[in-house]
Structure 1
Amino acid sequence: MDRALSALLEAQGLSPVGRMQPLGGGDIAAVYRLETSQGPVVVKHDEAERLTGEADGLQALRQAESSLRVPNVLALGDGWLVMEALEAGSRSPRSATALGEGLRQLHSHTAAEHGWPRDNACGRTPQPNAPLADGRVFQRERRLLPLARASHERGLLDNRLRGRIEALAEALEEWLPDLPASLLHGDLWSGNVLYTPQGPAVIDPAVYRHYPEVDLAMLTLFGSPGDAFFEAYWDGNAPYDWPRREALFQLYPLLNHLLLFGSSYRSGVERAIAAIEQL
């Protein structure tokens, strides 16, 4: 075992029992399960800056008044993050309802400014979060334009497609209202939701404050949380322009996937752009 990790565990009174077992599902960091004298923990190895941002996000989610479970951060340092291990269960209509209720509670924590006190990362991609008062400006300047520029510089977007993204970004004030900024998980794809016997849990956040539909759009990007989830989340008050907001807030993660994983995601970017333009 790495000496730095051994020292980190020892400082917390966690004596390893056996060897670390690799966990699947992560595309960026190395993640392991480790049995200790105080019970199982999850251990993640990554760049220190990304781990610090993740730990900050986990602590912010835990401090929010929400029924969602969030793993406790046990130790952080020298490229290692040690967290509480959560017991996995199975998804059901009841758990989908609980996820919707818990996410609605999380999003009820709002602030005037969009962003976060520190930058973090979404996958390997640096995520700038310097706060801005207007959510439309934040989406344009902190999300869409930086990733469109980066994708273009890497040859993943041609001039025409980059121009369409820039035009959409400049026109947000024409249809998207400015709203108070909700506390977000920030990277809420289905793999970052766990269904535990004690209720749904969320892991691997990229926390900031912005439109609540950011988390909803990420949940529907590669599937759907189901009708029971949306019934619980919206409680009969779905926004009238949800399809357009869904497409808008899927554009940023699709651009991020384009940067991280290559041109296979360009067609998804094109579909999201077309949906926003048509609605």
Structure 2
Amino acid sequence: MIPGPYLAATFETRVTSVRHLHGGDLSEVARVDLADGRRMAVKVGANVAVEARMLQAMDRTGAPVPRVLFQGRDILCLEWLEESPATEAGWHALGRGLRRLHATAGRSTGWPEGYAFGALRLDMTPRPDWPSFWCEARLLPFLPHLPAALARRVETLAGALPDRLEDVTPMLLHGDLWSGNALFSGDRAWLIDPACYFGDPEVDIAMLHLFGKPGPSFHDGYGELRRGHEARRPIYQLFPALVHLHLFGGSYFGLVERLLTLARV
């Protein structure tokens, strides 16, 4: 529940309006108007402190993210961004912004804090190399929840990752980049609702293509991808597909099977 009196005391003005919005699995979200004319997005949830630190890390790279106005207890207040339909200029801006994010290197894979997608806890523990992280933190945790035949295919792919993935320098990722986590306004775009960690930038690109298809203007803004990215894409798309299968059930079996076939397993 959005705590109006707490927000009024924090910002030293009355709360004049609270409009609840459709949110994700992690937080309650609302648009809050204050008597002094300010408007903000307010999220309430168990993981908002981690989200605030992720957004601040992204902001330091120069990537476009909403500003953190306040974080305390289980409350996160963000600058309000007016949304409009995506344009070609907006997609180009998203590509440029994502490239800025992906220019920041980490000392290791993973993230120093745990996180979650709804009821699914994410393993963010650093691993000694990138193929090990994708194997141990992004594929193998799903094996106990899969039918035997599907689990064997995922396990086979996981075992082949040292030969299938490069040990890249880990760069800062958004971590949950589907089109719903890009907010467009005119010719601008912002990255919202992150699940950050350090890894291969192709992870974000792959997910953005899983449930949609950004146009040429996005790729013009982002720039060239590494050679061989087409072969790695289904390997990276498999993780969000397994997340959806785990959280939402059997309608995603076909997607998981198709991606394993594309990954030549």
Normalising by the residue count of structure 1, what TM-score does the alignment of the two structures yield? 0.88
> 1:9·1:75 contact (CA, 8 Å) conserved in 2?
no
Note the C-alpha offset of 1:9: 4.1
Structure 2 residue 190 is matched with structure 1 residue 191: no
- Residues 49-64 of structure 1 aligned to structure 2 (within 5 Å): 50-64=47-61
| CA shift for structure 1 position 161 | 0.5
171, 190, 193: which one aligns with 1:182: 171
Aligned equivalent of 1:259, options 243, 246, 258: 246
Amino acid paired to 2:100? Q
Q: Give the aligned partner of residue 95 of structure 2.
A: 100
Aligned residue number for residue 111 of structure 1: 106
Superposed, 1:240-259 pairs within 5 Å as: 240-259=227-246
User: Which residue number corresponds to residue 213 of structure 1?
Assistant: 202
Alpha-carbon distance change, 124 to 57 in structure 1, aligned in 2, over 3 angstroms: farther
1:8 to partner: Cα distance: 4.0
Could you give the per-residue CA deviations for residues 133-159 of structure 1, whole angstroms, max 9, x where no partner exists?
Answer: 30000001111111233xx2xxxx211
The alpha carbon displacement at 1:24 in A equals 2.5
Q: Structure 2 CA distance, aligned partners of 1:248 and 1:14?
A: 50
Q: Aligned residues, how many?
A: 264
SS at 1:87 equivalent: coil
* AA in 2 matched with 1:33: R
- Tell me how far 1:38 sits from its aligned partner: 4.5
| 1:84-142 Cα distance to aligned partner (Å, 9 max, x none) | 11121332212211111111111011124111111112343211211123000000111
- Shift, 1:197, TM fit: 4.1
Output the CA distance in 2 between the equivalents of 1:160 and 1:14: 59
Q: 1:28 to 1:65 in 2, by over 3 A?
A: closer
Give the direction of change, closer, same or farther, for the CA distance of 1:173–1:14 in structure 2 (3 Å limit): farther
Q: CA RMSD in A?
A: 1.9
1:27-42 equivalences in 2 (<5 Å): 27-36=25-34, 37-42=36-41
Q: Which residue identity lines up with residue 100 of structure 1 in the other structure?
A: G
Percent identity for Structure 1 against Structure 2? 39
Q: Which amino acid aligns with 1:248?
A: I
Look up the equivalent residue of 1:51 and give its one-letter code: V
CA contact (8 A) 1:193 1:202 kept: yes
Q: Which amino acid aligns with 1:271?
A: R
Matched to 1:161, the amino acid is: L
Of the structure 1 ranges 77-86 and 128-137, higher mean CA displacement relative to structure 2 is found in 77-86
Q: How far is 1:202 from its partner? A: 1.1
**Structure 2 match to 1:162:** 151
8 Å CA contact 1:112–1:133 kept in 2: the answer is no
**What residue number does 2:15 align with?**
16
Offset at residue 25 of structure 1 (A)? 5.3
- Which runs of no fewer than 5 residues in structure 2 stay unpaired? none
